[in-house]
Amino acid sequence: MTFTDLIFENWPVRLVSLVLILAAWIDGRDLKVPNWITFPMVLAGLAYSTFAGGLSGLNAGLLGMCVGLLTLLPLYSVGGMGAGDVKLMAGIGAWMGWQITLAAFAVSAVIGAMMAVCMVLYRRRTGHHYQQFLLILSEWLAIRSPEKLSAIAAERKPRMLLLPYGIPICIGTIGYFCYQNMI
C-alpha cells in the first residue's frame, strides 16, 4: 500500500474520525460541542453524499442525519444531553448513512454508560448518584411533559456530575470503524 492509498482510501471515515477527535477534545475541555464543528460537518456530509451518489446519495445522507438526530433527541428534549452531542450524531449520519450511525450510537451508548459508572466510582459517591438515578427515573415515568422534565433537569444541572458525551461518541464511533476495518 502506498502513502497515497493510505491517505485517500476510505477518506470520509478518516475525516469524520478527525472531526470526532476534535469535538471530543473540545467537549472534554468546555463541556460543549460548538456549532462551528457540527454545522459544517452536517452540511459537508450531505454535500459528499450527494456528490458520491446523486439524489439517492442525498436521500441516504438525509436519512442518516435523521437517524443521528433521533438517537439522542429524546435525551436532549428532557435535558439529559447537550444539543452539540445531538448535532454531532447527525453529522455522523450525514457522512456515514443510517446503518453505521445506528451501530456507532449503540457502541457509544455502551461506552458512555461505562464512563458514567467509572466517574461515579471514582468520586466514591455511589449511593448519592444511585439515588439521583432513581429520582430521575421516577420523574421520567411520572411526568409526561418533556418541557417540565427539561425544566427540572436544567434546575438540577449545576449540582450534577456531567459527562462530556462527545467523548463516548468519538470512542464508540471510531471503535466501530476499527472493528469493521473501515480505518
**pLDDT at residue 92 in the model:** 98
* Band (130; pLDDT cuts 50, 70, 90): confident
* Mean pLDDT, rounded, of the chain: 88
Q: Which three cell numbers stand for residue 39?
A: 454545522
Give the whole-number percent of the chain exceeding pLDDT 70: 88
**pLDDT at residue 1 in the model:** 60
Give the whole-number percent of the chain exceeding pLDDT 90: 61
Number of structural domains found in the chain = 1
Give buried/exposed letters for 24-61 (b at 16+ CB in 10 A, else e).
bebbeeeeebeeebbeebbebbbebbbeeeeeebbebb
Question: Which residues contact residue 183 at a Cβ distance below 8 angstroms, ignoring those fewer than 6 apart?
Answer: 10, 13, 14, 17, 174, 177
* Band (35; pLDDT cuts 50, 70, 90): very high
Q: Which domain holds residue 156?
A: 3-179
**pLDDT at residue 179 in the model:** 96
Query: What's the pTM?
Result: 0.84
